[in-house]
Structure 1
Amino acid sequence: MRKALATIVAVTVAFLSTTGSSWAQRKAEPGTFDYYVLSLSWSPTYCAKEESQGNPDQCGVDRKFGFVVHGLWPQYSAGGYPANCTRDRSVPKAVVDQTMPIMPSVGLIVHQWQKHGTCTGLNATDYFARIRTAYEKVKIPAEFHSTASGLSVPATQVERLFVQANPGLTPESVAVVCSKRDVAEVRLCMDKDLGFVACGEKVVDRCRRDAILSAAR
């Protein structure tokens, strides 16, 4: 019995050593990725969730954000992304203060650095500077500057409005993501120099036909 078990273990190890090479090549290494996804979160949808009420910086009664940054994520063209490349969770307070106007959550800032920023090959200061630069390169369509309660735009038009507002942006560079029937995020694909590029595999629209972007909270 022990000999048979040893044989099974040996065969299993041999199998993994021959088939696992592709996995090893995909091991997350800082700076090894193909392009970025800049994810812009529609704040009214986020703040409508019960679990979001504990974030007064973004969802307090006096906070009227529209599109804010969810993250800047390194991506692989073939699909997937590197994550948690180091255990570093430290973000300088000055960097947090500079980033809060467009990413209004300390917890989110720290989480994005640990999960995504550590895989860019940048330090925390340069990563969040890159986020701010990426955000500044995107023109938010005028239709979304107001979060008045009467705002209601079909999800199918959100992508078109972003493309119209941003020269060089194409439908292949944008993905709209919804939570049930509410637009939650717009994801824009950018190269390492922050120019617009076509998205890779699995960065696609995820919305129902009847989904809308609204400001109701």
Structure 2
Amino acid sequence: MVPRIAGGRPMTNRFIAFLFLALFASTASAQERRSDNRQDHAGQFDFYVLSLSWSPTFCASQSGGKNDQQCSTDKDFRFIVHGLWPQYEKGYPDFCETKEPGRVPQSLGQPLFDIMPSMGLIGHQWRKHGSCTGLSQRDYFGKLREAFSRVKLPADLSRGDSAVTLSADQIEEKFLAANPGMSRRGISTSCEGRQLEEVRICLSKDLQFRDCAEVDRDGCRISQITLPPAR
């Protein structure tokens, strides 16, 4: 019997071949997507990204008393740690299964308030990123503190007493000058509109500076980026 399509007309060999190719392409595409959806396992990653957020940019977007720990009028944070993120060479793991609790106790978070001034931020970073390191909460935040101390902040950028406007390359050059061994291919600047959002620095598992092609490519490259002043 000759296959027929709607309306009763017989299918031609060319049409049948087209349907077969379309089905094959769809199946191959689904297999490709599945191969990209790797299973994230705690402790299985390639390197870290230390993300340093420019707090005045973040706080300018907050209203109604949100994030008072970081943004109330008596606070004047500059660079803070957004997070220490385990990364693959392409992509990153998140929300990994761990035997550690999801909630970070105040006693563990409070000593970080000088560089990570919010229990909400601390808790979220643990659940999304810290859980994938294979470390305990205590060891993860110890590693985060160590990573922050590994990076010297450029004094003229981190002063925050007045607005500064530079290109992404100029911002990164200041970090490179302050940190021997850091490579231009191992740092990335992100922006929110035309303001500095974050500086992301790639570190090996033992916290040595290293290159990271994908992170570097994702950086903001607009000609002028402003660091708004701290309050």
CA RMSD of aligned residues (A): 2.6
Decide which structure has the larger Cα Rg and report it.
Answer: 2
Q: How does 1:94-133 map to 2 (within 5 A)?
A: 94-133=107-146
2:96 to 85, 94, 97: 85
Q: Tell me how far apart the structure 2 counterparts of residues 175 and 131 of structure 1 sit (CA, whole Å).
A: 18
Structure 2 counterpart of 1:137: 150
Q: Which residue of 2 aligns with 1:175?
A: 188
Counterpart among 203, 224, 227 of residue 190 in structure 1: 203
What is the number of equivalent residue pairs in this alignment? 206
Residue of structure 1 equivalent to 2:74: 62
Q: Are 1:28 and 2:73 counterparts?
A: no
- State TM-score, norm by structure 1: 0.85
Could you tell me whether the CA contact under 8 Å between 1:52 and 1:59 is conserved in 2?
no
CA contact 1:180–1:207 (8 Å) conserved in 2: no
1:33·1:76 contact (CA, 8 Å) conserved in 2?
Answer: yes
CA distance in 2, matches of 1:76, 1:45: 28
After TM superposition, give the deviation of residue 35 of structure 1 in Å.
Answer: 0.5
Whether 2:64 is the aligned partner of 1:44: answer: no
Aligned-pair CA distance for 1:182: 0.2
Query: TM-score, normalized by length of structure 2?
Result: 0.80
CA shift digits 1:50-95 (9 cap, x unpaired): 3584111111111111100000001111x21000002741213221
Match of 1:4 in 2: none
1:205 lines up with 2:219 in the alignment? yes
Letter in 2 for 1:161: K
Unaligned runs of 5+ in 2: 1-23
Output the CA distance in 1 between the equivalents of 2:172 and 2:31: 44
Structure 1 unaligned regions, length at least 5: 1-10
8 Å Cα contact 1:159/1:174 also seen in 2: yes
What letter is aligned with 1:131? L
Q: CA deviation at 1:210?
A: 2.4
2:57 and 2:33 mapped to 1: Cα distance? 41
Identical aligned residues as a percent: 42
SS of the residue 1:50 aligns to: coil
1:200/1:54 CA distance change after superposition, 3 Å: same
The change in CA–CA distance for 1:57 and 1:195 in structure 2 (over 3 A counts) is same
